[in-house]
Amino acid sequence: MRPLYPLRRRLLQNDQCGTEHQTAEKTRAMKERRIARFSPAIVGYFVFAAILLACVVSLPWTMARVEREGNAPVRRYEAGNLDLSLLAPSWWEDSQQIRDRIQVQQAADAYVPSRILGTDRLGRDVFARCLLGGAVSLLVGLSAALVAVGFGTLYGTTSAACGGRVDNIMMRAVDVMYGLPSMLLVVMFAVAADGILERVGIERTGSGRQFFDLLILLLAIGATSWLTVARVIRGQVLSLRGQLFMEACRAVGVGPWRQFRLHYLPNVIAPIAVYAALAVPAAILAESFLSFLGIGVREPLPSWGNLAAEGLSEVNTIRSRWWLLLWPCLSIALTLLALNFVGDALRRAVDPASRGRSATA
């Protein structure tokens, strides 16, 4: 009779190999989780939170009024001193001539801007203007994304819930707007609203006009950014509409608003959050581009876009005032990069297919 020792030895070897394989899998999973803790999304969260916190917390300081000799008090972001214009940051250039100029102004009890990030052509504090410009750009970007997500969600849900001819008409309207350049629509909307305000008699100066400029800008950006979210939400609602629990809701007489609030919205909140995270950087970039062209936020109210436009004219081969262009552009780049990291992490968390593609890559 053949002994069983070789067979037992083979079984023990197989068990040992299986145990080693499971240990290797656990080790690999632990490494992946450890790497995920330090993913770019975490960096993006912290960078965006730091920028947002700095811009919001500094509002009382940037909006505070400062005294000027012989003039009425003005807000810090628009206060300037022509005798201290185009000064480089204090940590970059601090010559004796510059210190003498500052001492003369201090002796005359004139306004002296801080030189943390330098001064502009009118002697205004670039640091204060960058902080307030960030608050303005983030406000417009977040508000425009909120308008786009809210309107797109209602539009897509209504189209899918109605179905039939109403759905076809509403989606064909979306297709027509998709064929038009979005930035051209934003420019046309902003210019038309600007003309209407001039006919009404609202002056170009004053806080009222600045408020209307911001309102028009965020509505113009939001009114052209809802198309993608409307299509995505329509597809999600159509897939939910055929489920048995939705047929049961309609059979017992649940109203459309109650269906949307209790059943549709909780099931589509994940794609809404993903699109909102990706729509904010697009809205901020659109605002910066329009302000760079002179259509969006106007002087004296700063934004990252019009600060970059002002700094571009000061960069030349003879004497480059690089600080006027660097700080707003760096702020825009860091904010967009951080928000894109956050949006990509949310998309991977919601969409298993994209998570699998990133793992195989």
pTM of this structure:
0.78
Minimal CA–CA distance to 154: which of 254, 229, 223? 229
Most confident of the ranges 24-33, 91-100, 149-158, 173-182: 149-158
pLDDT tens-digit profile of 272-303? Answer: 888 888 788 888 888 888 777 777 777 788 88
pLDDT tens-digit profile of 194-244? Answer: 777 777 766 655 566 677 777 777 877 887 788 888 888 888 888 888 788
User: What average pLDDT does the chain have?
Assistant: 79
pLDDT of 68: 67
Provide mean pLDDT across the span 100-129: 87
Q: Confidence class of residue 24 from pLDDT cuts 50, 70 and 90?
A: low
Task: Measure the CA–CA gap between 189 and 172, rounded to whole angstroms.
Answer: 21
pLDDT of 28: 59
Strand partners, 68: 71
For 302, list phi and psi in degrees, rounded to 5. -90, 155
Q: Tell the residue number behind the tokens 């008409």, with chain if given.
A: 169
Q: Confidence class of residue 358 from pLDDT cuts 50, 70 and 90?
A: very low
pLDDT tens-digit profile of 43-74? Answer: 888 998 999 999 999 999 998 888 766 677 88
pLDDT of 19 above 60:
no
Evaluate the omega torsion of the peptide bond into residue 300 and state whether it is cis, within 30 degrees of 0: yes
Minimal CA–CA distance to 234: which of 306, 173, 320, 321? 173
pLDDT of 27: 59
Tokens found for residue 185: 């629509």
pLDDT of 361: 44
Tokens found for residue 189: 């909307």
The angle, 0 to 180 degrees and rounded to 10, between the axes of the packed helices 164-178 and 227-241 is: 150
Q: What is the dihedral of CA 220, 222, 227, 232, to 10 degrees?
A: 180
Number of Cβ within a 10 Å radius of residue 67 = 12
For 125, list phi and psi in degrees, rounded to 5. -75, 115
Overall size of the chain counted in residues? 361
> In three state form, how does the secondary structure of the chain look?
CCCCHHHHHHHHHHHHHHHHHHHHHHHHHHHHHHHHHCCHHHHHHHHHHHHHHHHHHCHHHHCCEEEECCEEEEEHHHCCCHHHCCCCCCCCCCCHHHHHHHHHHHHCCCCCCCCCCCECCCCCEHHHHHHHHHHHHHHHHHHHHHHHHHHHHHHHHHHHHHCHHHHHHHHHHHHHHHCCCHHHHHHHHHHHHHHHHHHHCCCCCCHHHHHHHHHHHHHHHHHCCCHHHHHHHHHHHHHHHCCHHHHHHHHCCCCHHHHHHHHHHHHHHHHHHHHHHHHHHHHHHHHHHHHHHCCCCCCCCCCHHHHHHHHHCCCCCCCCCCHHHHHHHHHHHHHHHHHHHHHHHHHHHHCHHHHHHHHHC
Q: Which fold has domain 136-306?
A: MetI-like fold (1.10.3720)
pLDDT of 140 above 60:
yes
pLDDT of 279: 83
pLDDT of 360 above 50:
no
Residue percentage of the chain with pLDDT more than 90? 7
pLDDT of 193 above 60:
yes
68-77, 83-92, 323-332, range with the lowest pLDDT: 68-77
Minimal CA–CA distance to 177: which of 225, 212, 218? 225
pLDDT of 139 above 80:
yes
pLDDT of 80: 85
